[in-house]
Amino acid sequence: MIKHKKTLESYRNIAPPGTLDLLYKLAERLKKRSLLHINSTRLGGGVAEMLHRHIPLFNELGIDTRWEIIEGSPLFYQTTKGFHNALQGQFHPITSQMYEEYTKINQRNSRKIDFSSELVLIHDPQPAALISKKRKKSKWIWRCHIDISRPQRRVWRFLREYVSRYDGAIFSLPSFAQKLDIPQFLIYPSIDPLSDKNKELSQQEINSVLEKYHIPKDKPLIVQVSRFDRFKDPLGVIEAYRIVKEYNDCCLVLAGGSATDDPEGEEVLKQVKDAASKDKDIFILDLPPDSNIEINALQRSASVVLQKSTKEGFGLTVAEAMWKGKPVIGGAVGGITVQIIYGETGFTVNSVEGCAYRIRYLLNNPEVSRRMGEKAKEYTRRNFLITRHLCDYLAMMISVLKL
C-alpha cells in the first residue's frame, strides 16, 4: 500500500534553501489551470509510483490535476510490452494485428476519458494514440520515460506519427532526443526523500535488516541494488569483488527484485548464485517488490555502492544511494554519467578492473569517501529530488501554455 500524506511543507527543510518558495511563486502563474495525466496503470512500475506522489502536490500548488488510466486487452499489453522492448533497442516482432489492437484500444479509451483539461500529459507509448482527441485550445505533451536512444525503426516510425502531433515531448536524457519538429524538453526523473526507500532510518532499523539477512556488521559492505539482469552486470560485480577481496576483507550484497515473471531474470539469478559459489561473504537477496525499507537499510549500511550497469536508462538507484551520502561507482552509461561527477560524487568505470580499483581506493581512503558522499548528497539535493522535478514540470507548463 502506498502512503501519500506528505504536503509540500514536509520538504521545506530537505530541499535546498528557497526552493519551496520558488515553487510556490512559479505555481502562482498556473493557479486554476487544469492538468490531466494519462498512463496505463495505477499500480506497479515507476510511472505510477511517481504519479501517486506528484498529483497531490500539483493540486496543493493550486493546479487542478486529474489522473486517468487506459484499459487494454491482453493483446494490447502484449503489443505495448513489445513496443517498450523495441523502443529500447531489442528486436521484437509486432504483427499488423497488434498494431490494429493498439489503435483500437486507444480509440475505445478515448471515448471514456474527459479531455477537457488545458494541458494533457500522456505518459509512455501505451496511450500515445489518444492524441486524436486533442482539442484546438488544449496543449498535449508526450512524456517518454524509457530509453529510446536506439529504437527499432519500424516501431518508432509507427509511434512517431502520433508523437509528432503533440505540442511537445519530454525525455529523461539528452541521448534520448529524436528528430522531431516539436519542442523536446529535458526533465530528469527524481527520488522522493520521504518515501520508505529514502527516508532516514534509525540504527536499530538498519541493524534489524542486516540481522534478518545475516549480514555481518564488522566488515565493509559493497552493495549493488538492481534487478538480476545482464545489463546490470551482476557477474562483473562479483568479479570486481573477488579482485578487491585479495586486498581488503569485505562483504558483497547483490539485492534485486523478484525474477519470477522474467525467464531471463531467473537464468541470470542462477548464474549469479553459481558465480558466488559458496563464498560466505556474498549475499544474494532476491527481494519482493515492496522491500523498500530493506533496500534503504542496505544502501545506508554500505561503504561503497555500485551500479555497474553496461546499459542503463536513468538508473535512479544511483541518486538513492547518493542521497544517503554514499559515493557510487557506476558504469559509464546512460543516466549514470549525469548523476556521478567523476572524482567528485563517485566514479564512473568502464571495466571490472576499473571497478575493483575504485572500490579499493574508497575502502582505503575513508575520509575521501566521506567527503565524496557529502558532495553526492548535496548534488542529489539540488538535482534529483522531487521538488526539482516539480519545478521543471511547472516551468515546462508555463512555456507550453505561453503564460
Partner 1 sequence: MEEFTFKGCIEIKELLGKQAADEMKLLEMIEEVPSDSIYYHTHSYFLRHYYIAGPYPNDFANWAAIQVRDRVLGEKLAVVTPWGDKNLEDIRSELMEIIDSHLSETKNISFVVYGQPFYFMKSRIIEVPTGVTVQNLKQLRDALRLIDASAIYNHIFEARLRVRRRKSDFSIWLEDILGRKELAGNIEKIDAYMYSLEGLRQKILQLCEQELRK
Binding residues for partner 1, rule: CB under 8 A, are 16-19, 21-22, 25-26, 171, 174-180, 183-187, 332, 337, 341-342, 344-345, 350, 375, 378-379, 382-383, 391-392, 394-396, 398-399
* Residue 119 vs residues 50, 56, 113: alpha-carbon distances, Å: 18, 17, 14
Residue of 245, 198, 267, 216 lying closest to 356 (CA atoms)? 245
Shortest Cβ distance from residue 250 to partner 1 (Å)? 28
* Cα separation, 103 vs 119, whole angstroms: 22
Q: Distance (Å, rounded) from C-alpha 378 to C-alpha 172?
A: 21
Work out how close the CB of 383 gets to partner 1 at its nearest, in angstroms, rounded to a whole number: 8
Neighbours of 22 (CB within 10 A): 14
Output the smallest distance, CB 183 to partner 1, in A.
Answer: 6
CB closer to partner 1, 191 vs 209: 191
* Other Cβ atoms closer than 10 A to 21: 10
- The C-alpha cell of 386 is what? 522531487
Q: Give min distance, CB of 344 to partner 1, in A.
A: 5
Q: Which is nearer to partner 1, 106 or 184 (CB)?
A: 184
Cα→Cα distances 204→95, 298, 300, Å: 54, 13, 12
Pick between residue 345 and residue 369 the one whose CB is nearest to partner 1. Answer: 345
The distance of closest approach from Cβ of residue 25 to partner 1 in the complex, given in angstroms and rounded to an integer, is 5
Of residues 116 and 350, the one with the C-beta less far from partner 1:
350
Nearer to partner 1, 343 or 366 (CB): 343
Least Å distance, CB 185 to partner 1, is 6
Residue number, 324 or 388, with CB nearest to partner 1: 388
Residue 28, classed as helix, strand or coil, is: helix
Instruction: Report helix, strand or coil for 68.
Output: strand
